[in-house]
Amino acid sequence: MQKENKYTEIYKQNNNLSPKNSITTNPIDKSSGLIAKINIMASGMAAMSAPHSITNHHTEKSFAMVDYSGFIKEINEIVSNYNELKDYLNAFHNLFINKLNCGYTAIGFVNEQSNSINIRLLDKNSNVYSFKVFMNDSENEIIKALESGEISCFSDSGFLKLPSIATLPCAIIPIRIQGKNIGISLASDYNIQNHISLYQLAAANLGLLVQNTNLNEKVAQSSNMDSLTNLYSHRRFHELLSQELNHAETTQSKVSVIIFDINDMGQINRDYGHSKGDEVIKIVANRINANIKKQDIAARYGGDKISVILRDTNADEAKYMAEYLTYSLSCCLVDDIGPVNKVSVGVATYPDDSMDKEKLLILAEQAVLVSKTKGYNNGRSTIVSAQDYDFWDDEALNSFATVMAKRHSQLGINFEEALVEQFQNENILSQNHLIEVVTSLASAIDAKDEYTKDHSSSVSRYSVALAKAINLPEKEVERIKLGALLHDVGKIGIPEDVLTKPSKLTEEEFKIIQQHPTIGVEKILEPNPLLHDLIPIVKYHHEQWNGKGYPCKLKGEEIPLAARIVAIADTYHALISDRPYRKGMSVEKACSILEEGAGIQWDKELVRQFIAIAPSLATKI
């Protein structure tokens, strides 16, 4: 993307100034008193992302006047009234959308562990986009701005590869603390040149807020108590749970964990303010702590979650205690809100549900989500134990996938391994049962990437249609149905940052992706004798007719017929599906691509047969 183009010249002609010196002519710099002092403070904070040069591409000439004094007052109120970083970010977003008429705002902070910037973008219609930019992508405009520490302005947002905002102009403003660039902020604003000081001030405040947040977290980590609830902190909860589990192992006793999730907290915070939300959390914490046994332990498990550790308690006893506590909560009245009776409750018990601490907590969180799905009975919360649900039913599996997605980056254990272990231990009773379990496993794997949901079931359906079109026997059609469901099962072993990367894969990352057929065979199919006849489908569905596929470079009819069928169905669904970087293609366009590759990538005769039936298939999932 060229930064110096006709838009820069138009801007200079219309305003008779260069982009760089436009900052000094901003009305904010002419103010005096508090405003001037704040500007001086902002510019002095390690030259907070102060640009050596700013490129601007805007053609707009007239804009609504901004009340700079009022704008800065609102920034001060944001800094004074919010405690959580996410709340600051949302407040800044609303401020820029409402006061400066931004098309979108985005914030991203460097994640040193994954060597990337995790970016969250909100547009003016409250649509949310989350994506990563890797630090080694030196050609990316965001990385360039971060490394240079300079503000960069663009006439469009095409480099973000989000079609819905591609035409909007934008600016990238680095966020800096203590001489180090820690992230970036983005804003779409046709009048960025005149508003640049406001964006710099906001970025300076964000830098300070992040620094203060980091300091507060360090202080909190050094303390065993949560400052809001006066319960044990999350860190101390884990320490105490480990001690209780060790004690239970020694004494051959049971330990149960209850997690209470206060529902509608986001709505309470929006409608009544965060102080009211904090009041609700404190009331719930105090009532739970006052009604448990002396030997039990209550802790702040998360933002709106309270957890209890029950020594020498089985699942039934824990559910009884949970019912008593939820009844106790329903008797609490909060001004403007009423009784605290909307909580979701999950229970997990050692060693019945798991002997591993982290898996025990995962099962408890899963039970919470199942409880949330089931809602309330006669105004009372549905108490759910990990022993109450079938792991493979839709509610439980979706809850498990949600927990995996939320906690995958937080804990040092492999959640996919738990899923595979559960699959391998399943007692298959019939062919229909096998299909149900395989379908559930495929759905859980597809859930790792929101853009591939239902991919496996769609590929299976297309494969079955093609197999029937060429008159294969029913038994072979059934084998292809199962093989297509599991064709991507090896992605269970692929890192999520590679699997869901929105931009082009590097050569090294592509080699990692190429391992998924072999992983699927070795981890899922080979240990299960019932699935051995599916191995050729899963292993060879990425081979190509010309011998340039993977993993074995098979060519022509060396590739098993079933694998050739699944390869075409897999490609077709990928072409018609929406991706982060493009919209799904039409049936006609997808078929033309298949036709171009017939005899090169895919079996020519099978492509001809598939194109004939493609219009009768669902075009989008």
Q: What is the mean pLDDT of each run of 10 residues along the chain (621 residues)?
A: 39 36 34 40 37 40 65 81 75 86 90 86 88 90 91 91 89 87 90 84 82 63 76 89 94 95 83 84 91 92 91 94 89 77 89 88 86 73 82 60 52 56 70 74 65 76 93 92 88 74 78 87 84 92 93 93 95 83 83 92 94 78 37
Does the 234-401 domain belong in CATH 3.40.50.10470?
A: no
Residues 374 and 355: beta-carbon distance below 8 Å = no
* HEC readout, 552-602: CCCCHHHCCHHHHHHHHHHHHHHHHCCECCECCCCHHHHHHHHHHHECCCE
pLDDT value at residue 206: 81
What one-letter code names the amino acid at 218? K
pLDDT value at residue 448: 58
pLDDT value at residue 498: 75
Helix (H, G, I), strand (E, B) or coil at 21: coil
Of 572, 404, 389, 561, nearest to 473 by C-alpha is 561
pLDDT value at residue 12: 38
Using N-to-C axis directions, what is the helix angle for 431-446 and 474-485, rounded to 10°? 30
Does the 415-616 domain belong in CATH 3.40.50.740?
A: no
DSSP run (H or E) holding 132: strand 128-134
pLDDT value at residue 200: 85
Strand pairing category for 255-262 and 343-350 = antiparallel
pLDDT value at residue 411: 42
Nearby residues of 545 by Cβ (< 8 Å), 6 or more positions away = 555, 556, 559, 564, 599, 600, 601, 602, 603, 604
Between CA 230 and CA 286 the distance in angstroms is 8
Could you tell me the pTM of the whole model?
0.41
Residues 457 and 439: beta-carbon distance below 8 Å = yes
Residues 391 and 423: beta-carbon distance below 8 Å = no
* HEC readout, 177-211: ECCEEEEEEEECCCCHHHHHHHHHHHHHHHHHHHH
Side-chain half-sphere of 324: how many Cα atoms within 13 Å?
Answer: 12
Segments making up each domain of the chain, as ranges: 6-220, 234-401, 415-616
Using N-to-C axis directions, what is the helix angle for 474-485 and 561-576, rounded to 10°? 50
Cα 39 to Cα 20, 28, 32, 198, distances in angstroms: 17, 8, 10, 9
Look up residue 566 and give its two tokens.
């699944």
Determine how many CB atoms are found less than 10 A away from the CB of residue 46. Answer: 16
Residues 122 and 106: beta-carbon distance below 8 Å = yes
Of 293, 186, 300, nearest to 237 by C-alpha is 300
Between CA 287 and CA 483 the distance in angstroms is 53
* HEC readout, 154-167: ECCCHHHCCHHHCC
Architecture in CATH for domain 6-220: 2-Layer Sandwich (3.30)
